[in-house]
Amino acid sequence: MCQHIGLDVSLKDTAIAIRQDGKRIWRGKCPSDPKDIAQIIRKHAPDPERVVFETGPLATWFFHALTAEGLPTVCIEARHAQKILGETLNKTDANDADGLAHLAETGFYKAVRVKSFDAMLVRTLIGARSQLLTITTQLTNQIRGVLKTFGLIVPKGIGSVFDFNVRGLLEGQAQLGQIILPLLEVWREVRERVAILTRHVLAAARQSSHAKLLMTIPGIGAITAMSYVAAIEAPENFKNSRSVGAWLGLTTRRYQSGEVDFNGHISRRGDTRLRGLLYEAATALLTRTSAATESQLKTWGLQLRERLGFKRAAVAVARKLAVIMHTMLKTGESFNPSAGEIA
């Protein structure tokens, strides 16, 4: 008979529950190492049907490691699982593992696609660059704010211009310079690291045929293209292009109960960073005035802006960009500014 296994994964230990024919036949705990877990499963469940665990920080590692061990591994949506597991009287790791095994047994769960390590490397690279950019912005604002306290206003400017202006204002300000100059040195060092990571992203984009294809769209640069390729991985992961917009949280939420039926704001589910990049690309597309940006998509977006306002129009264009980019990856065709009707 087939067994169904639930894993409640934490950084130190993993609770394991095994069910068969509607009954729990074994449960225990072991260190959070996929090889150790695989040995225990083989010992107590010789014919596993499903091994189920929730999304989390270790999900990518666990999924690929357990799959490599030959186990039928399924990673399920944590938000969905918690609504079921939260109904138990006593919230324990053992009970959560048993609840996950029960979900595996009934099939009442929502499986998620676990990204490959290559895709996660790209996402990590872009995420690290984004984090360093945030740090430089925070340091810039702090330096400007501190100097304002002493009546020193830093003129507008970025990069080396900002560095030059700050150093110029600190001339003759020895005590203040002891505070600001270390911040400025860190600011410069972080910017150099950002430049290094940016070169890595650009190099990866030049080597990716998919990224180069997506960059034929006005407003889509190397960062957005690589983020999209890493998130989608393969066009076949989606049944149709229109579902990508919902997957990225760019479609409106609907609430219906009895005679109440209305659409709310966008769901904002899925990849937050990619959703933000697509919104920035949509903004660039709608605001740039060069001939290279003219397209049916831009015309449609500008018409929406007149009726709904800029922000809603930008969200709609971002959703449409996600759909178009998936279609381009599926067909291998470059962006055609004059093609088709906008849906």
Mean pLDDT in residue range 242-252: 93
Q: What is the rounded CA–CA span in Å between residue 67 and residue 59?
A: 12
Alpha helices in the chain (DSSP H): 34-44, 59-68, 78-85, 93-106, 117-149, 160-169, 174-207, 209-214, 222-232, 242-247, 272-287, 296-308, 310-331
Ramachandran assignment for 113, one of left (phi > 0), alpha (psi -120 to 50 degrees), beta (any other): beta
- Predicted confidence at residue 340, as pLDDT, reads 53
Q: What is the rounded CA–CA span in Å between residue 30 and residue 78?
A: 21
Q: Is the dihedral of CA 22, 24, 30, 31 positive or negative?
A: positive
Decide which of 125 and 261 is more confident. Answer: 125
DSSP state of 293: G
- Predicted confidence at residue 257, as pLDDT, reads 84
DSSP state of 237: G
- 3-106: which CATH architecture? 2-Layer Sandwich (3.30)
Q: Which residues contact 133 (CB under 8 A, 6 or more apart)?
A: 194
Q: What is the rounded CA–CA span in Å between residue 54 and residue 112?
A: 9
Q: Residue 275's CB: how many other CB atoms inside 10 A?
A: 23
- Predicted confidence at residue 292, as pLDDT, reads 82
Nearest-10 Cα torsion for 182, 183, 189, 194: 180
Token pair of 284 as six digits = 């660039």
Q: What is the rounded CA–CA span in Å between residue 111 and residue 100?
A: 12
Rg of the chain over all Cα atoms, to the nearest angstrom: 26
Token pair of 323 as six digits = 């759909």
Q: What is the rounded CA–CA span in Å between residue 324 and residue 330?
A: 10
Where do the structural domains in the chain lie, given as residue ranges? Answer: 3-106, 117-207, 216-331
With vertex at residue 119, the alpha carbon angle to CA 129 and CA 322, rounded to the nearest 5 degrees, is 85
- Predicted confidence at residue 343, as pLDDT, reads 45
Decide which of 60 and 342 is more confident. Answer: 60
DSSP state of 206: H
101-144 residue pLDDT tens? 999 999 888 899 999 999 999 999 999 999 999 999 999 999 99
264-281 residue pLDDT tens? 889 988 899 999 999 999
Instruction: State phi, psi for 14 to the nearest 5 degrees.
Output: -125, 125
Q: In percent, how much of the chain has pLDDT > 90?
A: 83
179-237 residue pLDDT tens? 999 999 999 999 999 999 999 999 999 999 999 999 999 999 999 999 999 999 999 99
- Predicted confidence at residue 261, as pLDDT, reads 82
Decide which of 276 and 340 is more confident. Answer: 276
Q: What is the rounded CA–CA span in Å between residue 157 and residue 164?
A: 9
151-182 residue pLDDT tens? 999 999 999 999 999 999 999 899 999 999 99
Report the chain's terminal Cα–Cα distance, integer Å.
50
Share the mean pLDDT of the chain.
Answer: 93
Residue 342 pLDDT exceeds 70? no
